[in-house]
Structure 1
Amino acid sequence: MPHCTVNGCRYFYTDTGVPEGRPNAETIVFGHGFLMTHQLFENQIEALGDEYRCIAFDWRGQGQSEVTAGGYGLWDLTDDVAALVEQLGAAPCHYVGHSMGGYVGFRLAMTRPDLLHRLALVDTRAGAEPLGKRLQYYLMLAFVRLFGYRSLVMDRVMPIMFGPAFRGDPAHRADLERWRTVIAANDRRGVFRTGVSIFSRADVLGRLPEIDTPTLLVVGEDDIATPPATARDADERLSRSELVVVPESGHSAPIEQPEAVSRALAGFFERGGDLS
């Protein structure tokens, strides 16, 4: 599977290539959320791959990308995705970021708007992590770093990652087990380093008026990690944005309600033009 070296880190990525018969197709770059991998967006890539070149990657320290000693700050990760986009000849692109991928997305639009057509941010926030949640997450990270992905911590992670409708549906039991396995396969050193960085991030709400890139905000109505109110905060400060709240979805809307997310992305990318 393909890798490329970005800022001293060997990054894993997938690339559908330019769709047959569409030589001028635009490119979508997908940045997954914390603890997930490029697989988070597999349904969206399947839905959009006939119209767009789709690139998905694993952040440094997660999935199949290299675990490095440093480089996990959000501005460092912003530099990583900018370099990846340029190296793969994907600029300008549509960028889709979930959770921590969205934290990066805000910063990418501030620093490298030349790389972007449009920006779609899913289940994310521009503000800092609330203190209570930050302390909770630090304790969970320390446990994982010392003892691994035991049930004691995983039983607390899953309700944060997935909403009650998805977790309570017997039809999704196998899906939940699959994602539990995906999460636990992450190298715990990389997870610890990434988590400490992203959960201590600075608030950039005040800088959102700087962003001129048309932006779609998508959030699950039952998301407890980044609730709809945080998406509304961002929507109020962005000059060219729209907001979609996804019913019966928690923090992993691309998995919990894949069709709704794919429809929102397709409609947003197809429309073009300006947002007021």
Structure 2
Amino acid sequence: MHYEIHGNPHAAQTLVLSSGLGGSAGYWAPHVAALGERFRVISYDQLGTGRSPAELAEGYAIADMADELLTLLDGLQVRECAFMGHALGGLVGLQIALQRPQLIQRLVLINAWAEPNSHSARCFDMRIQLLKNSGAAAYVAAQPIFLYPPAWIVANRERLELDLAHALAHFPGEANTLRRIAALRAFNIGAQLGEIHTPTLVMASRDDTLVPFTQSVHLAEGLANAQLALRDFGGHAFNLTEQAAFEASVLDFLQPAA
């Protein structure tokens, strides 16, 4: 898999970043400067996306994504790290915390979940129908509706147009996208949450259109050692729409005062 290492090469801590359904390391580019001052930062293109081309198999699962990342981190000789995941990336972090609890020292989950819910299922049904019936261009064009608050979309029209053109040019294909959606829809570890003792910051926005913030409330309540940080505005990608406040919260959690 394609990976990138940024930030302070002499930092005592490594921070691994795992993106959502899009799978691209580029999702985290706006945060590299702030996070890289304190951490050696590793981001990567998930298999079957971006610069990690592959044809994903039928039945592909979040556990497969976790195994792929563990293979990468083993190859880089990462024995301990902090981990931050957005949506699907957060599911990868939860899976690794179950499989190899000694690896992740601190975990940040952004609009993630432990088990399916009917609202997100409806949203993914709509996105699947768009992709199958109208093609990749329509699927990508609809993406901001699920990611960002309407006011932010209006205020950032030019930036979004560039982002959407890039997303369409690097679209991973219908088959891979559908299998990745199926993997996140099948993820269900609600009964195992109490087995995860990793210190965890669960972050969500109440105006998330794609994943109800109550899923994050459930996560924080079920995990053995979690704190919940809710905000009122920012949407599914509030790490981008409210970037400065987001980065401050994450850094405070990852490197708490002595």
Shared fold, TM over 0.5? yes
- Is residue 67–residue 187 contact of structure 1 (8 Å, CA) maintained in 2? no
Choose which of 218, 226, 231 in structure 2 pairs with 1:233: 218
Counterparts in 2 of 1:107 and 1:69: CA distance versus 1, 3 Å = closer
Name the residue aligned to 1:179.
Answer: 163
Cα distance between partner residues in 2 of 1:12 and 1:142:
30
RMSD: 2.1
Aligned position for 1:268: 253
| 1:1-276 to 2 correspondences below 5 Å | 11-16=1-6, 18-19=8-9, 23-70=10-57, 72-130=60-118, 133-134=120-121, 136-138=123-125, 140-141=127-128, 143-145=130-132, 147-151=134-138, 153-169=139-155, 172-184=156-168, 185-188=170-173, 189-199=175-185, 201-271=186-256
Q: Cα deviation per residue 1:47-87 (whole Å; 9 max; x = unaligned)? A: 01021100111111112111223273111111111122211
Contact conserved, 1:94 with 1:119, CA < 8 A, in 2? yes
Listed as ranges, the gaps of 5+ residues in structure 1 are 1-10
Is the Cα contact below 8 Å between 2:11 and 2:38 reproduced in 1? no
Q: Is the 8 A contact 2:7 2:37 kept in 1?
A: no
Unpaired stretches in structure 2, ≥5 consecutive residues: none
Query: What secondary structure, in the 3-state scheme, does the structure 2 residue paired with 1:113 have?
Result: coil
Secondary structure in 2 matching 1:265: helix
Q: Kindly state the Cα deviation for residue 112 of structure 1 after the two structures are TM-superposed.
A: 0.8
Distance, in Å, in 2 between the alignment partners of 1:232 and 1:160 is: 20
Assess if the C-alpha contact under 8 Å between 1:145 and 1:192 holds in 2.
no
- 1:160–1:224 CA contact under 8 A, matched in 2: yes
Aligned length: 255
Counterpart Cα distance in 2 of 1:165 and 1:241 = 31
* Aligned-pair CA distance for 1:235: 0.7
The whole-number CA distance in structure 1 between the counterparts of 2:257 and 2:176 is: 38
CA contact (8 A) 2:7 2:32 kept: no
Match of 1:5 in 2: none
The TM-score normalised by the length of structure 2 is 0.90
